Chain A
Amino acid sequence: MIHICNLSKSYQKDSAALNDINLTIGKGEFVFVTGPSGAGKSTLLRMIFCGEKPNRGQVLINGRNVTRMSSSQIPYLRRQLGVVFQDFKLIKNRTLLENVAFPLEVQGKKRHEVSKKVYQALKMVGLENHLTKFPLEISGGEQQRVAIARALVVDPMVLLADEPTGNLDDQTTQEIMELFKGANARGTTVVMATHNQEIIKRHPRRVIFLRQGRVVDDYTP
Chain B
Amino acid sequence: MFYFLRCAGRNMFQSPLLCTAAVGTMTVSLTIVAFFGVIFFNFEELTSYWGRRIQIKTYLETVPGALVLQGWLVEIREYPEVDEVVYVSQAEAFDRFKERLGQNSDLLHGMTPSILPASLEIALKEGFRNRQGVERVVGKLRKNPHFSDMRFGRDWLERFDSFVALFKFSAGILGGFLLFATVFIVSNTIKLTLYARREELEIMSLVGGTPAFIKMPYVIEGAVQGFIGGLLAVVGSYLIFALFLKQSLVSLLFTMGVGRVSFLPLRFQLGLLGAGVVLGVLGSLASLRKFVRIHYS
In the complex, chain A residues whose CB is within 8 Å of the CB of B203 = 89-91
Tally of A-B residue pairs with Cβ under 8 A? 60
Query: Does B255 belong to the interface (CB within 8 Å)?
Result: no
Query: Does B14 belong to the interface (CB within 8 Å)?
Result: yes
Query: Does B244 belong to the interface (CB within 8 Å)?
Result: no
- B297 pairs with A72, CB closer than 8 A: no
**For the complex, what is the distance from the CA of A78 to the CA of B296, rounded to whole Å?**
11
Task: Considering the complex, give the chain A residue whose CB is closest to the CB of B204.
Answer: A102
- A103 pairs with B297, CB closer than 8 A: no
Contact of B207 among A71, A76, A78 (CB under 8 A): A78
Q: Classify the secondary structure of A's interface with B.
A: loop
In the complex, chain B residues whose CB is within 8 Å of the CB of A79 = 207-208
Contact of A76 among B208, B293, B295 (CB under 8 A): B208
**For the complex, what is the distance from the CA of A97 to the CA of B3, rounded to whole Å?**
15
In the complex, chain A residues whose CB is within 8 Å of the CB of B206 = 49, 51, 78, 83, 89
Query: Does B135 belong to the interface (CB within 8 Å)?
Result: no
In the complex, chain A residues whose CB is within 8 Å of the CB of B15 = 93
In the complex, chain A residues whose CB is within 8 Å of the CB of B293 = 71
Contact of B200 among A53, A78, A93 (CB under 8 A): A93
Q: Give B256-297 interface residues, CB cut-off 8 Å to A.
A: 293, 295-297
Query: Does A216 belong to the interface (CB within 8 Å)?
Result: no
- A74 pairs with B209, CB closer than 8 A: no
In the complex, chain B residues whose CB is within 8 Å of the CB of A7 = none
Contacts A50-B296, A93-B200: A103 and B14 contacting too (C-beta < 8 A)?
A: no
Contact of A75 among B3, B200, B205, B297 (CB under 8 A): B205
Chain A residues touching B, range: 20 to 34
Q: Classify the secondary structure of B's interface with A.
A: helix
Contacts A50-B296, A91-B200: A72 and B210 contacting too (C-beta < 8 A)?
A: yes
Interface-central residue, A74, A75, A83, by most chain B CB under 10 Å? A75
Query: Does B177 belong to the interface (CB within 8 Å)?
Result: no
Query: Does B254 belong to the interface (CB within 8 Å)?
Result: no
Chain A 100-114: CB-based contact to B (< 8 A → 1; otherwise 0):
001101110000000
**For the complex, what is the distance from the CA of A49 to the CA of B199, rounded to whole Å?**
17
Task: Considering the complex, give the chain B residue whose CB is closest to the CB of A81.
Answer: B208
**For the complex, what is the distance from the CA of A76 to the CA of B210, rounded to whole Å?**
8
Contact of B296 among A74, A76, A102 (CB under 8 A): A74
Contacts A50-B297, A53-B297, A74-B296: A107 and B208 contacting too (C-beta < 8 A)?
A: yes
Query: Does B213 belong to the interface (CB within 8 Å)?
Result: yes
Whole-angstrom distance between the Cβ of B38 and the nearest chain A Cβ: 40
Q: A78-B205, A89-B203, A90-B203 are in contact. List 9 more A-B contacts (CB 8 A).
A: A49-B206, A74-B297, A75-B205, A75-B208, A75-B210, A83-B207, A103-B207, A106-B208, A150-B207
A interface residues with partner B (beta carbon < 8 Å): 49-53, 71-72, 74-76, 78-79, 83, 89-93, 102-103, 105-107, 150, 154
11 A-B residue pairs with CB within 8 Å: A72-B211, A75-B210, A75-B213, A78-B205, A78-B206, A83-B207, A90-B203, A91-B199, A91-B200, A102-B209, A154-B208
